[in-house]
Amino acid sequence: MLSGLPTIAARAVSALNQFEAITRDGLVLAPETVAAIGRAEARRSRWQTAALWVIALSFLGILWVLHQS
């Protein structure tokens, strides 16, 4: 167990250096990651827009029915 401590300490220092760089410079994402996030957000946005249109049309239908009676 103790023989692995230098390796564990070196990895911990490396991880801390990476966290410090991210904190200082910000997290850098690969262009492919950014593109994938954009596609996922666009897909989610389409469904939200469709749902809002369904709600709006339903509301107009209800208003029309109430106005007819």
Every domain of the chain and the residues it spans:
2-68
Which structure tokens are listed for 22? 């991210």
Task: Give whole-number Cα distances, 49 to 28, 44, 60, in Å.
Answer: 30, 9, 16
More confident residue, 64 or 29: 64
More confident residue, 26 or 13: 13
Task: Give whole-number Cα distances, 27 to 22, 23, 31, 34, 40, in Å.
Answer: 5, 8, 13, 12, 19
Q: How many CB atoms lie within 10 A of CB 54?
A: 10
pLDDT given at position 32: 94
In this prediction, residues 38-42 reach a mean pLDDT of: 92
Q: With cut-offs at 50, 70 and 90, classify the pLDDT of residue 23.
A: confident
